Chain A
Amino acid sequence: MYGNYLDDAAKIVAEKREENLKFEHARLTAEQKDDLLLKFHPDRIKKQFTELKIGPNKGQQAPIELAEMLQAKPRLEPEKIDLNHIDYESDVLVIGGGGAGTSAAIMASEAGAKVLLVTKLRVGDANTMMAEGGIQAADKPNDSPAQHFLDAFGGGHFDGKPELVYTLVNKAPSVIKWLNDLGVEFDKMPDGTMVTTHGGGTSRKRMHACKDYSGAEIMRTLRDETFNRADKITVVDFTAAIEIIKNDKGEACGAVLMNIETGEIRIAKAKVVIIATGGAGRMHYQGFPTSNHYGATADGLVIAYRAGAKLLYQDSLQYHPTGAAYPTQILGKLVTEKVRSLGAKLINKDGEVYIHPLETRDVNASGIIREVREGRGVHNDVQDAVWLDTPMIEMIHGEGTILKSIPAMYNMFIKYGIDIRKEPILVYPTLHYQNGGVEIDKTCHTNVANLLVAGEASGGVHGTNRLMGNSLLDVVVFGREAGIEAGKMFKKIKLSDKLSLQHVKDFEKERAAAKIKGSAVSPKILPTYHHGNPEFDKEIPGATL
């Protein structure tokens, strides 16, 4: 029981539960979806975006908060950095210790490369760890990579780069096998058949899961494997890359690193640089709460951009429809889509099912925003919201399903006295994923030589909307591709002895010429939160929670 004003509101949902369970809302037509998105999706609010004045994407739009970071002052003046003092030398430098970074490191080491993996927090402290619902792969007999292609490309509004979508879906089954062979425990039937479910926008049940700890199970396995390769992979943690280093030919050949605790600068030199720094939820675009990891501050985009790498769809974000909207302690935390794929429906304050729960994420997010804005949301002190009727799950699949299939969800709410087996929960969209990023080709190359990008920091795989389960797939598929590619490249490349930060100096000149003002420095590295403490009420970027 909520034990407050929400009990009465929840009663309406309970009364209509039987009836709502039987009622299946029609899927929206293409026109209805377009109309809903146009009116309510945060990406369509023009005043929340601004034109980039400098850099490779000059003239294009970006979220205000990202544009500020992309065009901010570098953290250090290039003149003050001693590039002659090399601290680390490796064949391959991987920046980022999430799913993409560890997959890349493992595959590069497999090819014989000496790898340096630097990570801002700890290895595994990444959005990958927090992915709950699952990972897609077309490996069932009624499914095919082509079917998966159609879902991913269409779900991404036909904006994806076809060769990237092709790689994503074609490598998916072998990636599931690779993970399984590393020891990842997928949910299986007694005969070995994978337990698979739907995700929003999927036309086949192809979501593989490890209960609702899918990302955590994959990430802890990849982390363990990374540490098992200590002879080849050196891990340096609590160290952020704050600048890419290029050589006299303009090729990437290392990075300026900063110990985030002491501020100490280290220089890493490498033949190939892989950026796998993940997403941007902690930028809190438009003041939204986020389901993202603490370190998701778009650092990779910033350093790649200053090094001259083009971004793609930097103005496309994913707002996950079901972020927790109550209680305040978990505001914005992810309520996995698996809750809906198991049958929980979205219900407005009048107890009505107002949309099909498995529309694509952008459509469902827009639908929730519409209900709230048009007065059909549930009034709630934390954040006005709609209901997600979780008790339906056990009515459909039997008692015990919630503890068996979504234990993390149960644990998250029961800590605050809400039993999702008996009570519906309140949800509102939360900033979840960066659809765009650094533009790559199918082997993860950017337009900067020897600079590869993989995972959420890359753009083009998901077009302008990503389907559930395609991000876990993306990080492992393209993390591996980047590692394999680097494993081929390093044998043909010599370590540079002409290290340069000329591109940073040039960028500063561009800033000055474009008259970009403000004292912001980037990359951001970590957000600052004060949780409403009036002593810290002055304007601090990122403190909008």
Chain B
Amino acid sequence: MAEKKTEKEMATIYIFGKKYDVPAELTIMNAMEYAGYQLKRGCGCRNGFCGACATIYRIKGQNQLQTCLACSKKVENDMYIATLPFFPLVKQIYDINKIKPEQQIMMQLYPEIYSCVGCNACTRACPQNLQTMQYIAYAQRGDFAKCADLSFDCVMCGCCSSRCPAGISHPQVAELARRINGKYIQPECQHLIDRVKEIDEGKCEAEIKKLVKMCTGNIDQIKNLYNTREIEK
């Protein structure tokens, strides 16, 4: 679409050690493509939802290694960039219908969380600004609801785990906590249970079959129904 024709401000960056001058307004992902890369790994939704583009960088002259999502981080001058093409997290296998919402399950599946040294490197690494170490603390205690709540925005990019001295796969721990919370801890929904039962018993059938019949017969009749339907305030 409409690219600005005016002179662009440029930034000098280093992709896998190679120097490139790119427009300073670009994200790391767009800058890599501007430089000529066709991304295969390390690229997904391009909008901060999928965690495929976990990336590490360092600004020349600074000793700190930073983590981010390449799709939603703008380039900076003197940025040294390397993507994480695949991040090997530990994912334990379990049967959601057989586990119990108790602290025990974390001890069994992810015992390494109890080796957390409290360094908070995970939290500093999180491109979503989550309180990563804190949600692991909740998981340790078996407080799954709080762990689920704090980790809800996790895109499972793995940046946290890349910095963890205890070898914790934080996103997988949080995933387990959220599933336990969703299934066992949050209150059940009565109107949902009732409606499923009604449908199973065929109580909704007559009304809907009438409409299906109109679709193949008198189309004006259903058009009229649609155009005059009452809309809930």
* Cross-chain contact A188 with B189 (CB below 8 angstroms): yes
* Cross-chain contact A530 with B34 (CB below 8 angstroms): yes
Interface size counted on chain A using CB atoms at 8 A: 96
* Cross-chain contact A183 with B48 (CB below 8 angstroms): no
CA distance A183 to B94 in the complex (A): 13
* Cross-chain contact A177 with B49 (CB below 8 angstroms): no
CA distance A393 to B219 in the complex (A): 39
Contacts of A139 in B (CB 8 A): 189, 191-192, 194-196
CA distance A329 to B72 in the complex (A): 8
* Cross-chain contact B226 with A153 (CB below 8 angstroms): yes
* Cross-chain contact B179 with A182 (CB below 8 angstroms): yes
Q: A125-B52, A170-B204 are known contacts. Are A261 and B41 too (CB-CB below 8 A)?
A: yes
* Cross-chain contact A408 with B211 (CB below 8 angstroms): no
Closest A residue to B25 by CB, please name it.
Answer: A328
Closest A residue to B220 by CB, please name it.
Answer: A158
* Cross-chain contact B2 with A533 (CB below 8 angstroms): no
Indicate if B96 sits at the interface (CB-CB under 8 A).
Answer: yes
> From residue 207 to 240 of chain A, which have CB atoms closer than 8 A to chain B?
211, 213, 215-217, 220-221, 224-225, 227-228, 230, 238
Contacts of A193 in B (CB 8 A): 189-191
> From residue 38 to 86 of chain B, which have CB atoms closer than 8 A to chain A?
38-41, 43-50, 52, 72, 74
Of the residues B179, B187, B212, B219, contact of A191 by C-beta under 8 Å: B187
Closest A residue to B26 by CB, please name it.
Answer: A531
Contacts of A241 in B (CB 8 A): none
* Cross-chain contact A180 with B50 (CB below 8 angstroms): no
CA distance A415 to B129 in the complex (A): 12
Indicate if B111 sits at the interface (CB-CB under 8 A).
Answer: no
CA distance A294 to B152 in the complex (A): 24
Closest B residue to A290 by CB, please name it.
Answer: B46
8 tightest A-B CB contacts, nearest first: A183-B179, A154-B226, A192-B187, A183-B182, A185-B182, A162-B215, A146-B207, A139-B195
Indicate if A245 sits at the interface (CB-CB under 8 A).
Answer: no
Contacts of A173 in B (CB 8 A): 192, 195-196, 199
Contacts of B230 in A (CB 8 A): 203
User: What are some 10 contacts across the A-B interface (CB < 8 A)?
Assistant: A130-B47, A153-B222, A158-B219, A158-B222, A183-B180, A185-B181, A291-B47, A381-B2, A382-B2, A531-B33
CA distance A528 to B40 in the complex (A): 11
Indicate if A114 sits at the interface (CB-CB under 8 A).
Answer: no
Indicate if A320 sits at the interface (CB-CB under 8 A).
Answer: no
Contacts of B178 in A (CB 8 A): 183, 185, 217, 221
Q: A176-B192, A213-B152, A333-B47 are known contacts. Are A530 and B204 too (CB-CB below 8 A)?
A: no
* Cross-chain contact B204 with A125 (CB below 8 angstroms): no
Contacts of B52 in A (CB 8 A): 121-122, 125
CA distance A368 to B43 in the complex (A): 31
Interface size counted on chain B using CB atoms at 8 A: 78
Mask, A120-133, CB within 8 Å of B = 1, is: 01101100011000
Contacts of A376 in B (CB 8 A): none
* Cross-chain contact B45 with A294 (CB below 8 angstroms): yes
Q: A294-B45, A381-B2, A382-B2 are known contacts. Are A184 and B182 too (CB-CB below 8 A)?
A: yes
* Cross-chain contact A329 with B26 (CB below 8 angstroms): yes
Indicate if B27 sits at the interface (CB-CB under 8 A).
Answer: yes
CA distance A140 to B91 in the complex (A): 37
Closest A residue to B31 by CB, please name it.
Answer: A531
Q: A170-B204, A191-B187, A203-B231 are known contacts. Are A383 and B175 too (CB-CB below 8 A)?
A: no
Indicate if A526 sits at the interface (CB-CB under 8 A).
Answer: yes
Mask, A234-258, CB within 8 Å of B = 1, is: 0000100000000000000000000
Contacts of A204 in B (CB 8 A): 232
Indicate if A141 sits at the interface (CB-CB under 8 A).
Answer: yes
Mask, A270-299, CB within 8 Å of B = 1, is: 000000000000000001010101110000
> From residue 111 to 163 of chain A, which have CB atoms closer than 8 A to chain B?
121-122, 124-125, 129-130, 137-142, 144-147, 149-151, 153-154, 158, 162-163
